[in-house]
Chain A
């Protein structure tokens, strides 16, 4: 791909290259007795190679089809966008110091209305100029760690993030905010919950469900909430800060081990599962919704345990599942398997011998439920009891994704099976809760 002609391929690319054109240039196309003039625009990845996209005078984009008899010329070079952000608001050294680590889910950005390109704004001064409210909350440092879609992140990235967070905390940050793509933010939150132990300050993951270039984006409100949390919250735990409802009103603070993305697109996609919501920010006030949390204490020293074993799988059982899937993982040298069973924690009997074989081979096999809500209980039905007798470890009300991350972490800490089993079932970061109560959710609608 030609970087000066993003999205163009085949015939269109050849023609534009022969003109020496790049996006932003002023182009004139004449065909069938009509003249089209405008600024050359990038092409969508989904577009074919038969059209050239220009922005006409009114600001609209149109695609002009390439024909053999058309005349095309470059009339002028485009002015390069030069943006000088307005002077950042005065920084207040009396405010808590918060570090924002960016992993790819850009939280603030600018649109180049000339070419339609969206450019992330990540330097502290850029951020301040776009979300000026931040300067009243904290003194901010920024670090770009990765620029990745969250589905491209791996346990190695979790390790890296944990190390950078630890470093910033050691250097005196009063809180750390991590901007993250939302798709796998729950996994990273769980990973950091285990990797960063004895935290002295809050670590807040934050993302956006609407892209940041649009006026209705939830990014700024979420970011303001996250920074508020990092700067002032009374707790020292790993949490996720996102919209609590579809309104721009309350920001929900979820515990890192208990949070799951439960909707593809809504602003309130993230929900706390099998626990009460941890905290909420409303009208700039942080309201704790539980008494059971680790207090912020600056004199506590962080313990970093950032190794993860990648040979752990999460297998979702489905009717008729071929047990060979389990066998394959054992043959491939997997050390742990989290099963996402049905209901209270079941898989078909056909799988039993493969599971037995796996456990015999030293693979840790543990059970969660694909119901998402509720806890497994393998004593109720015969199949459950038999799985228990084979040696499958029931994981209570732990989320399947948290269980996967935890087993990766456990096997990253110890190779001793006995120790690993103990660690897996021990409540380390509130991943288990012993009571499930009827959730009291605020009403969906707002009244004013």
Chain B
């Protein structure tokens, strides 16, 4: 089915985030890098929701706080200092990061602000040790061109990246603070995007411009897109953390589908005469029904002295099991809420029963005790009593929202393009000034200097790559869209390998290796350059390149020559090649005599099959022809 997005009133706004490749973090002198292995430092914190003059407290945050959620931070002295630990005030704003952001802003025709003010944006899920993210708007009102359409850029901001979550264990949430305070540029478009494909193109263009500054990080996790998606009759949904460009259109398509399905469910509920008021928070402890159950989950819970509690959703029969998008049902949405608010493992509902060891008899007893009619649905959870109550309350809340339509939420993107409930949408942005950092005036003189040294725009660069290196347009565009544009130019300058080979390797070969699951990101620039130097010096062949890359991705920070040796991919010396060719010819003498020069293809195939990666194909071909001509003459 082709969906007419324009007709649905689809509006999408993008927030593109990209880590900057600076020498230091945004507010301290730590290296902007991640660490592996066990943390050397850990500390435990609570974040207390602060109250505004308006008396507003983020309800989700306050709930978490009241439940006694604590955050265990993990750190390493190499990548974090007292600043990230919130044990020392921030240092001055990193000027290198500010200049990169200003440069990107000028490339998008945005107007830098006259004076930059760092703000504190309250975020108390633990991802920031301070309880707020430091952020500042650097430029306003730019625009980019995508397929001839003007896309307004509302803000270009510079902010600190957040800590990364490494686990959750009951009431302890773990975060690693190495990523905290890495500079991040945020580009916010106006919500003027009207189709999934267009959103992808806009993100691609923003990415191209940012990469053109030459100062952004690359690799998984360095780019994150947030999408604000709404359709007419639906709700504004913020989807956070889309890491792959290719996923953007999929996420939007699925979100539109999800909202349409929810709107349909709302209409059906109304048609069935269900109102919000009918959905009551009347929870019933049904543990006795499942005393001798064959359902493993319930049996285990009861054995641990937990309770099984149930609630009736009048008129919901059949709707909980209704698929909204592949793999996601209204029941899944309720389970997400139950997990978030009640910290339960999951839910069971009558649309999917009898199943999972729950018998028809148990189900009938359940319906009976809940006084449920066939048109009703019943949801059960098993956990400590107070968790059950919180979970069921969240479920009835979600059920009431289902009557209304689509609830406003912040959702997180899954790798397959589906999304999951993350938290309710925060209230009005709660920002207040970061008084520890003085305002930073941006002088006209400084802007003039940056403007004079602006990097070339993506289209200009593609043209130049074609002209300067003689590569074709497809490769040039691919290079520009990859993260390897700069590296390409370095390799071509430092080695004698043909530009087309370098470009094809960095784009097509790398892409197919990635598809095979090879972790290209593990390779550093210097390693990649070294591989081409080896090829250039004849120490290995271009055919060996994929194997070498694969090996290096599995042997971090190893030397490419080690790969060549370990894989036995060194080039064979010329006399050895000569010997091999003669041997092959003598073994196939009959054929050669019979077919003469026409035996070339067959013999060439035999040699390359056996010695691919160890011999230079052109050389072999030349030598083989010579040998063959000797025989036929």
By a beta-carbon cutoff of 8 Å, the part of chain A in contact with chain B is 34, 41, 44, 46-48, 50-51, 53, 55-56, 58-65, 81-86, 110-114, 116, 119, 129-130, 210, 213-217, 220-221, 245-249, 264-267, 444-448
Given contacts A63-B117, A246-B43, A448-B72, A110 and B51 within 8 Å (CB-CB): yes
Interface centre among A81, A86, A448 (most CB of B within 10 A): A448
Query: A445 to B75, alpha carbons, bound, how many Å?
Result: 11
Query: A217 to B121, alpha carbons, bound, how many Å?
Result: 15
Query: Which of B124, B129, B428, B439 is A63 in contact with, Cβ under 8 Å?
Result: B439
Supply 8 further A-B pairs (C-beta < 8 A) apart from A53-B117, A113-B52: A34-B111, A58-B137, A62-B140, A113-B431, A114-B53, A215-B49, A265-B88, A266-B82
- CB distance B44 to A83 under 8 Å? no
- CB distance A245 to B439 under 8 Å? no
**Measured between C-beta atoms, what is the minimum distance from B304 to chain A in Å?**
21
Inter-chain contacts of A266 with B (CB < 8 A): 82, 87-88
- CB distance B428 to A265 under 8 Å? no
Interface pairs A-B: 10 shortest CB-CB: A63-B115, A215-B131, A65-B114, A59-B429, A61-B117, A81-B53, A60-B137, A59-B431, A46-B438, A247-B44
Query: Which of A48, A119, A246, A445 is B85 in contact with, Cβ under 8 Å?
Result: A246
Inter-chain contacts of B45 with A (CB < 8 A): 216, 247-248
- CB distance A448 to B44 under 8 Å? yes
Query: A396 to B120, alpha carbons, bound, how many Å?
Result: 48
Interface centre among B44, B47, B70, B432 (most CB of A within 10 A): B432
Query: A246 to B129, alpha carbons, bound, how many Å?
Result: 12
Query: A236 to B154, alpha carbons, bound, how many Å?
Result: 61
Inter-chain contacts of A221 with B (CB < 8 A): 46
Query: A83 to B113, alpha carbons, bound, how many Å?
Result: 33
- CB distance A248 to B70 under 8 Å? yes
- CB distance A110 to B52 under 8 Å? yes
Query: Which of A47, A58, A265 is B155 in contact with, Cβ under 8 Å?
Result: A58
- CB distance B438 to A213 under 8 Å? no
- CB distance B48 to A217 under 8 Å? yes
Inter-chain contacts of B52 with A (CB < 8 A): 110-113
Inter-chain contacts of B120 with A (CB < 8 A): 214
- CB distance A113 to B53 under 8 Å? yes
Query: A114 to B124, alpha carbons, bound, how many Å?
Result: 19
Query: A247 to B88, alpha carbons, bound, how many Å?
Result: 14
Interface centre among B120, B121, B172 (most CB of A within 10 A): B120
B395: interface (CB < 8 Å): no
- CB distance B432 to A116 under 8 Å? yes
Query: A82 to B55, alpha carbons, bound, how many Å?
Result: 9
**Measured between C-beta atoms, what is the minimum distance from A83 to chain B in Å?**
5
Given contacts A216-B131, A249-B44, A83 and B433 within 8 Å (CB-CB): no
B116: interface (CB < 8 Å): yes
Inter-chain contacts of A82 with B (CB < 8 A): 53
By a beta-carbon cutoff of 8 Å, the part of chain B in contact with chain A is 41-55, 70, 72, 82, 85-89, 111, 113-117, 119-122, 124, 129-132, 135-137, 140-141, 154-155, 157, 169, 172, 428-433, 435, 438-439, 441
Query: A447 to B154, alpha carbons, bound, how many Å?
Result: 45
- CB distance A60 to B43 under 8 Å? no
Inter-chain contacts of A214 with B (CB < 8 A): 50, 120, 130-132
Between A and B, 10 residue pairs with Cβ closer than 8 Å are A44-B439, A47-B115, A58-B155, A60-B135, A60-B136, A61-B431, A116-B432, A215-B132, A265-B89, A448-B72
- CB distance B439 to A47 under 8 Å? yes
- CB distance A215 to B50 under 8 Å? yes
**Measured between C-beta atoms, what is the minimum distance from B130 to chain A in Å?**
5
Given contacts A214-B120, A215-B122, A62 and B113 within 8 Å (CB-CB): yes
- CB distance A81 to B54 under 8 Å? yes
Inter-chain contacts of B115 with A (CB < 8 A): 47, 51, 53, 62-65
**Measured between C-beta atoms, what is the minimum distance from B503 to chain A in Å?**
41
**Measured between C-beta atoms, what is the minimum distance from B253 to chain A in Å?**
28
- CB distance B433 to A215 under 8 Å? no
**Measured between C-beta atoms, what is the minimum distance from A404 to chain B in Å?**
28
Query: Which of A34, A111, A210, A444 is B432 in contact with, Cβ under 8 Å?
Result: A111
Query: Which of A47, A58, A110, A217 is B53 in contact with, Cβ under 8 Å?
Result: A110
Interface centre among B50, B70, B120 (most CB of A within 10 A): B50
Query: A55 to B136, alpha carbons, bound, how many Å?
Result: 12
Interface centre among B114, B120, B140 (most CB of A within 10 A): B114
- CB distance B141 to A34 under 8 Å? yes
Inter-chain contacts of B121 with A (CB < 8 A): 59
Inter-chain contacts of B154 with A (CB < 8 A): 58
Query: A44 to B432, alpha carbons, bound, how many Å?
Result: 13
Inter-chain contacts of B131 with A (CB < 8 A): 214-216
Given contacts A62-B115, A63-B116, A248-B70, A446 and B44 within 8 Å (CB-CB): yes
**Measured between C-beta atoms, what is the minimum distance from B446 to chain A in Å?**
13
Q: Looking across the interface, which residue of chain A has its beta carbon closest to that of B113?
A: A62
- CB distance A216 to B429 under 8 Å? no
Q: Looking across the interface, which residue of chain A has its beta carbon closest to that of B137?
A: A60
Query: A216 to B87, alpha carbons, bound, how many Å?
Result: 10
Q: Looking across the interface, which residue of chain A has its beta carbon closest to that of B188?
A: A58
Q: Looking across the interface, which residue of chain A has its beta carbon closest to that of B85?
A: A246
- CB distance B441 to A51 under 8 Å? yes
Query: A444 to B435, alpha carbons, bound, how many Å?
Result: 30
Query: A59 to B169, alpha carbons, bound, how many Å?
Result: 35
Inter-chain contacts of B428 with A (CB < 8 A): 59, 113
**Measured between C-beta atoms, what is the minimum distance from B307 to chain A in Å?**
26
Inter-chain contacts of A56 with B (CB < 8 A): 137, 140
- CB distance B136 to A112 under 8 Å? no
- CB distance B47 to A83 under 8 Å? no
Given contacts A83-B53, A446-B42, A64 and B48 within 8 Å (CB-CB): no
Inter-chain contacts of B51 with A (CB < 8 A): 110-111, 129-130
Query: Which of B53, B111, B113 is A112 in contact with, Cβ under 8 Å?
Result: B53
Given contacts A34-B111, A63-B441, A113-B431, A216 and B129 within 8 Å (CB-CB): yes
**Measured between C-beta atoms, what is the minimum distance from B353 to chain A in Å?**
37
Query: A43 to B44, alpha carbons, bound, how many Å?
Result: 36
Inter-chain contacts of B89 with A (CB < 8 A): 265
- CB distance A60 to B155 under 8 Å? yes
**Measured between C-beta atoms, what is the minimum distance from B91 to chain A in Å?**
12
- CB distance B439 to A248 under 8 Å? no
**Measured between C-beta atoms, what is the minimum distance from B317 to chain A in Å?**
40
Query: A110 to B49, alpha carbons, bound, how many Å?
Result: 11
Query: A162 to B431, alpha carbons, bound, how many Å?
Result: 40
Given contacts A53-B117, A215-B131, A446 and B43 within 8 Å (CB-CB): yes
Q: Looking across the interface, which residue of chain A has its beta carbon closest to that of B172?
A: A448
**Measured between C-beta atoms, what is the minimum distance from B362 to chain A in Å?**
38
Query: A230 to B462, alpha carbons, bound, how many Å?
Result: 72
- CB distance A215 to B48 under 8 Å? yes
**Measured between C-beta atoms, what is the minimum distance from A419 to chain B in Å?**
46
Q: Looking across the interface, which residue of chain B has its beta carbon closest to that of A119?
A: B53
**Measured between C-beta atoms, what is the minimum distance from A110 to chain B in Å?**
5
Query: A176 to B90, alpha carbons, bound, how many Å?
Result: 35
Inter-chain contacts of A248 with B (CB < 8 A): 44-46, 70
- CB distance B47 to A60 under 8 Å? no
**Measured between C-beta atoms, what is the minimum distance from A133 to chain B in Å?**
10
Inter-chain contacts of B114 with A (CB < 8 A): 51, 62-65
**Measured between C-beta atoms, what is the minimum distance from B3 to chain A in Å?**
31
Given contacts A51-B439, A62-B113, A265 and B87 within 8 Å (CB-CB): yes
Query: Which of B48, B55, B111 is A83 in contact with, Cβ under 8 Å?
Result: B55
- CB distance B117 to A62 under 8 Å? yes
Inter-chain contacts of A111 with B (CB < 8 A): 50-53, 432
Query: A55 to B114, alpha carbons, bound, how many Å?
Result: 14
Inter-chain contacts of B49 with A (CB < 8 A): 215
**Measured between C-beta atoms, what is the minimum distance from B175 to chain A in Å?**
13
